[in-house]
Amino acid sequence: MAKIIGTLPDTEGQDTLSLSTDGSTVTWSGVSSGTTGGSIAKHRSGNSGLNIYYVAGSASTYPPTGVNFSPNTLLAFPLFCPQWASEIVEVGIYVTGIGAGSGQARVGIYRDDNTIAPGVLAADSGVIDTGSTGSKLVSVSVECLANEMIWLALVNSITQGFSSFVADSNSWLTRGYAGTDVTSKATTGVSRAFTFGALPDPFNFTSAFTSQSAPAIWARFA
């Protein structure tokens, strides 16, 4: 099945999209109806005005708690872009324990590689100073499509605490079960060994895990 992607006019009240390919013209006179069947999603532009943060890897309504994470492991958890959003404008973490030494972290945004895994790098937060507790937020600019799966990743330089969702009970079962024996645990995210530094591109995960607490990696959309 072919996919045609275009941009709808920004002018108020104009939702007509005309595309030409191989000598044929497709005309769409509405957001969800047209001459060829199927549907088209309007990609919004401009700031939504909403100031809402989403966290990757958890479907829980319970508040996160502090969990210690070892250094030099790159963890990644999935998140769907909201239907109203067109851009990720901020990412962040919440430090609950500073550890021993001068802690640092990096947050990354990865595109899904169509196998329910992080692929190419869309943004690297750069070094985040985690030598004090509290929120650590970084401005980014990454385009996203409505309902697009992305991955938020975290790697830290020393063992320290981050606000997190406890494994199993609070995790989103991202990659499902390996079989129909659901007495086994489902997979909640992916990881790879990685010495702290600029984030890898692509991700190239080496393992999917079932019992890893998910650090609360936040994203704000516009």
Per-residue pLDDT tens digits for 179-213: 676 666 667 788 999 999 999 999 998 887 766 67
At 11, is the pLDDT very low, low, confident or very high (cuts 50, 70, 90)?
very low
The reported pTM is 0.75
Co-location of 115 and 207 in the same domain = yes
Question: What pLDDT score does 32 carry?
Answer: 39
Rounded to whole angstroms, the Cα distance separating 142 from 122 reads: 7
Question: What pLDDT score does 111 carry?
Answer: 97
* Residue span of the structural domain in which 167 resides: 53-221
**CATH code of the domain covering residue 179:** 2.60.120
Q: Is residue 209 part of a domain?
A: yes
Q: Is residue 21 part of a domain?
A: yes
Is the pLDDT at 177 greater than 60, yes or no?
yes
Sequence-distant (6+) residues with CB within 8 A of 38 are none
Q: Answer with the residue of higher pLDDT: 124 or 6.
A: 124
Q: Answer with the residue of higher pLDDT: 125 or 205.
A: 125
Is the pLDDT at 16 greater than 60, yes or no?
no
Co-location of 157 and 106 in the same domain = yes
At 1, is the pLDDT very low, low, confident or very high (cuts 50, 70, 90)?
very low
Co-location of 37 and 10 in the same domain = yes
Of 174, 154, 139, 167, nearest to 64 by C-alpha is: 167
Of 92, 104, 88, 185, nearest to 144 by C-alpha is: 88
With H, G, I as helix, E, B as strand and everything else as coil, classify residue 204. Answer: coil
Question: What pLDDT score does 186 carry?
Answer: 65
Lowest mean pLDDT among 8-17, 38-47, 95-104, 137-146: 38-47
Question: What pLDDT score does 44 carry?
Answer: 44
How many domains are contained in the chain?
2
Co-location of 31 and 58 in the same domain = no
Share of the chain above pLDDT 70, in %: 65
Q: Is residue 46 part of a domain?
A: no
Question: What pLDDT score does 2 carry?
Answer: 46
